[in-house]
A and B are shown apart, each in its own frame.
Chain A
Amino acid sequence: MSERRKDRTIFHVIVLPLISLLAVELCVLAGSLLFGGVMTKLNQNAQDMLAQQVENRGNYLMNDMIGNWSNLSMLSEEINTIVQGKLDAKQFQLEELNGNSEKCTGLLKEIRPELVETMYNKQVSGIFLILNTYDLEGEEAPESLSGIYLRDLDPTSTPSQRNEDILTERAPVDVVRSGRIATDTGWQPFFSGEDINQPFFYKPFQTAYGDERRLAAKEYGYWTTETYCLAGDNRRAISYSVPLILKDGSVYGVLGIELLEDYVQSLLPCGELMEKERGSYLLAVSKEGNSLLEPVIFSSESMTKGTLEELRFTRSEVNDREAEEGSGKYYGAVKPLAVYSNNAPFDSDKWYLVGIGAKENLFAFATQIQRILLASFALTMLIGLVGIFWVSYRLSKPIQRLSHEVEEAKQSNVLPVLSTTGIREIDQFAGAITRLQGEVIDSSTRFVQIMNMASVDLAGYEIKEGHDGVFVTENYFPLMGLEGVDIGNLTAEAFKRKQKEALQDFEYTVSEDGSVVYQIPVEPEGTRYLRFEDVTEGERQVGLIEDVTVSTLERMRVERERDCDGLTKLYARRGFRRVADALFLKPDKLKHAGLLMIDLDNLKSTNDRFGHNFGDMYIQTAGKCFLDNTPANTICARISGDEFLLLFYGYDSRDEIREKIKKLYRAIGEVEFVLPNGSNMGLSASGGVAWYPEDSEELSELMKYSDFAMYQVKRSKKGNLREFDAEAYQEKIYQNQSRLEFNQLLESRQVNYHYQPIFHSRTGEPYAYEALMRVDFPTLRSPETVLRLAREEGRMSDVEYMTLFCSCERYEKLLEQGVVSEQAFLFVNSIANVRMTEAEEREYHERFGKLQPRIVIEITESEHLDMELVEGKKSVEGFSGMFALDDYGSGYNSEINLLELKPQFVKVDITIVRDMDKDVNKQQIVTNIVQYAHKRNMMVIAEGLETAEEVKKSLELGVDLLQGYFLARPGEVPPAVSEEAYQLIREYWGQE
């Protein structure tokens, strides 16, 4: 990385790597094909396929040659038998089987059908039998021989019954006449000398004739190694022939089969070798161990006879299944045909079937692939190169143009107008640069303009670390009032020293943002305010001086104005806070202080009656009065319309301050106005005082307290003065808290219910439970307070709703838990004069329909009953219709309530029950109630029973139901009756 990159054009950066990449790719591809040996394999494959066909075809052919065609032993045997028979019968001498003797003709006539049959059976195109007993090389060598030579031109077709498809090539006239076998055009009655010299006769005959080994006849079998034509005929053929040998070893002729060249060719379908019949078959012989393959028969569609005959194949020395051709243009696959047994006389003739393919055809596929590959290589290379150059050109051209444009712009010193390249990223980049440059120019221009336009003078400097010089604006020192400094040759050190010297005598303030404002006296304007600010960024230190004289003066003026009330010229609220806050930071200066809040009385009515101008004058007068009649250090402020605050401070005691305030109030009392209607009017102001440090050490608290005190005056008697009363304040706070908590209670239903059992006076078993509200808030603890607040806040119906729903909800849970008796009633304290909405009642019924029959609505007697509402309660769907009248005997109109409500239960008020056992009057009242109730089927409940005596008395007086701490306290889960009370009840009734 430390090496410096060479400076190269974008064109080179792209072109060279891409070309290398292309080259590597092509090399890999070429290499894989070359070294993978694909071509060789393809060629080998083609050769193998050719060789396989030759192998198969050769096997067929060999099968025919050995197993079928050359298998003449049966026919030979038959002929031998016939001849031997005739010899034995002395019909003729062996020597007579020569020339044109009648014996021959007779024999031939006899044998002809056998020959025809064999020819048909073997599916050969010809068969022949030649008779001779002379040595062909001896003196008596014959000139012509008798024999028969038949042909079937279509050996594969079904034989004709009348031998119509057979032609006679050679046969004596008599044989022709007798045989109904047609003669061919070249028919001759005998075999001439020309025929005799043909190898098909001469070779096997003479070899056997002269051989002393006396091998079996078939060993002398001979395949002609060249095609031949019979005299007078132009059809070429090969043949296989064996000598006819009698048992005594005498050779008397030759028997053979013939295969026409056409027929052999049809058995060698060269089309199977290669496609489009491009291959050729060659039946060939090599003689005497010679490797040259002498052609016997070609079978070819694609090659002319001339071409074929010029081909000379030799057996490959490397591979015995291959043959090489002289010109190298042809390939030969070789299949040896073992047609002779090893010791046979003609074994030196080695037969072969050769499959020939021109190499250009045989390897055409590989060659074609090679060509295609070469072409695609070249094409790929060409396309690749063109593509690379084109892409590189396309990429580098616009960038070059851009750089050229930028260069031009630089020289002509204008903002360059860059042409679009059509490449988004580059265009965005160029655009961004142009925009950036534009912005830079813009902002610097703007900055200079702003500098020039600025109403204040600006000056600055810059010091770079490591640089000796310093940049200073020309007006830098003059702005400080220092003339004649040569800034041209100023070093950083000298600059700093000079600056320090210049400023050391001046006053300065440090503002919140860290800048320093110096006050520099100058003639004749007075003071110049200079704001100094410097920033160090890395190696650079930049400083700026700003003449802030105007703004500073302006700010000072505004601050002043903001602190003051325009009407009274006293402090405004803000000014008061600023001054007072500063004072409160210094308790030693405050010592004892009193904060007096004054509210002008009657300002509103005055305004209404006499207009604002008069109102303003009223305020002005008051303000002036406050200012004039307080000690000088008193801070007077008007904080809103008719409210004033006066802070007396620096006194040793409250009394001193009280004196000052009294003095002020006296003065207030003396002020008089003449109203626009001519009558007089005094100044009246209500005031509240709070003390420092007694009431609080906080200014805001003192303000709150004095305000509280002042409002207490306002609510009682205007125009008076009052000191802050902490107790009253707390009470007020407490009430507010309770209200808050009450609202919270209703919102969150943070209410609990305890259930107190009501026992049956006879059994001591629970008869009913009364649901009692329990609240647990800091300031809100009793249900009475809740009810009071509800009444005050007009939330009675909410409380009613909450009571009915929550008490039943909890009770249901108790029922579920099985801790309350299912037969017991539930007494719910309903607010007499409040009724739930219809929707709520419906909801209630839906929710607690099951419980409703056992619910008793308890109405507190202390309230005036609105009977209409009470009747309404009765009509609530599912309501049991049972009421209990609570606190009977304590409220007013108790009797009327009893009459109107007609409750099922009457609860005797606790004041009557208390100490009932000791008070005969109370006993009388209870007796009356019991008497009244029982007559009307009402039950009487004594509540608040706390002693055994009270219980006992209740029992005596016939009270039906008992409730009280003595029996059981209320609980979230209602407790059982106390043992003591239970015993008492049992004992009482036991006594009876």
Chain B
Amino acid sequence: MLQKKVRLLWGVCALGIILGGCGDKSPLDAKNPVTIDVWTYYNGDQLTAFDSLVEEFNETVGKEEGIIIKGYSQGSVNDLETNVLAAVKGEVGADEVPNIFAAYADTAYAVDQMGQVVDLKDYLSEEEVSAYIDSYIREGDFSGGGEIKIFPTAKSTEIFVLNKTDWDVFASETGAAYEDMADMDGLVETAQRYYEWSDGKTPDVPNDGKALFGRDAMANYMLIGSMQMGTEIFQVSEGKMTLNFDKETVRNLWDHYYVPFVKGYFAATGRFRSDDIKTGNIIAYVGASSGVSFLPESVNISDAESYPIEMEILPCPKFEGEDSTYAVQQGAGMVVTKGSEAEIYASVEFLKWFTADERNIKFSVNSGYLPVTKTANDKTAVMDSGAQISDNMGKMLSVAVDTVNGNKMYTTRAFETGTKARNILEYAMSDRAAADREAVVSRLASGMSLEEAVSEFVSDEYFDAWYEDTLKQLQAFEN
């Protein structure tokens, strides 16, 4: 009897050891789940897609392992950045630092400088790391020593969006083709043709031609355009930026945006170019692939008149240059902050789960972001995933995935004043263009010809002045 009991006891012990062994080294306990706060800037479809995945995680893997993910949308990227920095600095009224927050490289870098960011390299095997698109992983390597401070979750690039309905009218009448807009020169030429074509529609009203094109992100234009022409404006090494604002290159950028803008070939009046499409201001623009869900379905020429439109997505036009195969890489990644071992472990578990191919594609097709792993960033994989894909979304993914796979993805390396420096690039040319265009419009209204009206602005002197001014502004951020 006793012997039996003893044998049973040994059995129980052995079972305990075996089961204990099965538990790996996980610091988690399913009975006492660890709660992970995730801050994002997602809205609309993106937020819905993210929330549904979080819910799925909490109900499956999270439940098994003892992880509860709580997502908080901070509204916009800027809000997110402000709140994260406030939390990290421990400002009055700020929330606790979240376990994970979505961030662009600059914000991640700033928080990392405060010593709050976990190097995820220690939590991922080489095999796991190699599954992600290399440039996405490199974005979080601030020191250049192979660290991973940003976990890629959702990326985007730029695409060329076209109001096919209105384009087709123009194309059929002028014989213009998509290929015409494959490079920058062609784009500007086509825009001029479009302006002149539309101006000709009302012979009695001079200079009422319409703009073909607009841009959402001017900084991207300047940075990528430079790269394509062989110059990296912000050369960053170990957090220090060296300015490389090549005048010739910049002049080229000027000529392919500012000049057509003041002439009225390009335009930007609404907040986003999609707004301009909606109000019939333009019919094409270059914008973030992730904005695809905001593509308009109709155009309101006036408060009373509107008509439905069809959209087309094309690759972005490029500069002819040393290496024109550069494309922009954007979209925030996830940053894991320092905390208990369990919290970090749980955070990484979630992010790995979130970016597994199936989930990654699901999130992509619902949010407009691009998959982050090599295997998921594949047209066939996306199409075969069985997810419901809207028309525009399908078009976008098709173009964007090709863009990612066929180009060198570029994003500026993080440095301390990166955001501010970027803002110079964002607004220096566009603000000047918008202001000058207004001047041009009023000159035209006063009876000047287009040539006369723009002559002052397209001069070399005018460019030089602007260049020097901008250079000075940028130099302030050097080093």
Contact = CB atoms under 8 A, between A and B. Distances in A.
Q: Do A and B bind each other?
A: yes
Interface of A: 100, 105, 146, 153-154, 157-158, 160, 163-165, 172-174, 176-183, 185, 187-190
A165 B270 contact: no
A164 B271 contact: yes
A172 B303 contact: yes
Contact size range, B: 20 to 34
B271 A180 contact: yes
Nearest to B80: A157
B277 to A, nearest CB: 10
Interface in B258-292: 269-272, 274-276, 278-281
B269 A160 contact: no
A177 B210 CA distance: 14
Contacts of B301: 173
B300 interface: yes
Instruction: State the majority secondary structure of interface residues on B.
Output: loop
A164 B293 CA distance: 18
A518 B59 CA distance: 119
Contacts of B476: none
Contacts of B275: 176, 182-183
10 contacts: A154-B76, A173-B279, A173-B280, A173-B301, A173-B303, A180-B269, A183-B275, A185-B294, A189-B302, A190-B303
Contact of B303 (A146, A160, A183): A146
A160 B81 CA distance: 13
A165 B79 contact: yes
B479 interface: no
A762 to B, nearest CB: 122
Contacts of B52: none
Contact of B302 (A154, A173, A182, A185): A173
The winner among A100, A158, A176, A178 for most chain B CB atoms within 10 A is A176
A172 B305 CA distance: 11
A589 to B, nearest CB: 100
B390 interface: no
A157 B82 contact: yes
Given A163-B271, A173-B279, A177-B270, A157 B79 contact: yes
B75 interface: yes
Nearest to B269: A177
Nearest to A178: B269
Contacts of B76: 154, 157, 160, 164-165
Contacts of A157: 74-76, 79, 82-83
Given A173-B301, A173-B302, A180 B270 contact: yes
Nearest to A166: B271
Contacts of A182: 270-272, 274-275
Contacts of A187: 278
A153 B279 contact: no
A517 B303 CA distance: 159
A190 B300 CA distance: 11
Interface of B: 43-44, 74-76, 78-79, 82-83, 269-272, 274-276, 278-281, 293-294, 296, 300-304, 306
A189 B300 CA distance: 8
Q: Interface residues of A: mostly helix, strand, loop or mixed?
A: loop
A64 B378 CA distance: 51
B281 A177 contact: yes
A920 B99 CA distance: 148
A177 B276 CA distance: 7
A154 B74 CA distance: 7
Nearest to A167: B271
B43 A153 contact: yes
Given A153-B75, A160-B78, 15 more contacts: A154-B75, A157-B82, A158-B79, A164-B78, A165-B75, A173-B280, A177-B281, A178-B269, A180-B270, A182-B272, A183-B278, A187-B278, A188-B300, A189-B302, A189-B304
A182 B43 CA distance: 14
A188 B303 CA distance: 8
Contacts of A177: 269-270, 276, 279, 281
A186 to B, nearest CB: 11
B278 to A, nearest CB: 6
B304 A181 contact: no
A812 to B, nearest CB: 94
A183 B279 CA distance: 10
Contacts of B294: 185
Contacts of B296: 185
A124 to B, nearest CB: 14
Contacts of B278: 176, 183, 187
A11 B35 CA distance: 60
Residue of A157, A158, A181, A188 with most partner-chain B CB within 10 A: A157
Nearest to B72: A266
B256 to A, nearest CB: 23
A173 B279 CA distance: 6
Nearest to A187: B278
Nearest to A180: B271
B82 A158 contact: yes
Q: Which 6 A-B pairs have the closest CB atoms?
A: A154-B75, A182-B271, A157-B79, A189-B303, A100-B303, A172-B303
Contacts of A165: 75-76, 78-79
A154 B76 CA distance: 8
A173 B300 contact: yes
Contacts of A174: 303
Nearest to B276: A177
A800 B249 CA distance: 146
Contacts of B43: 153
Contacts of A180: 269-271
Contacts of A105: 303
Contacts of A185: 44, 293-294, 296
A825 B154 CA distance: 134
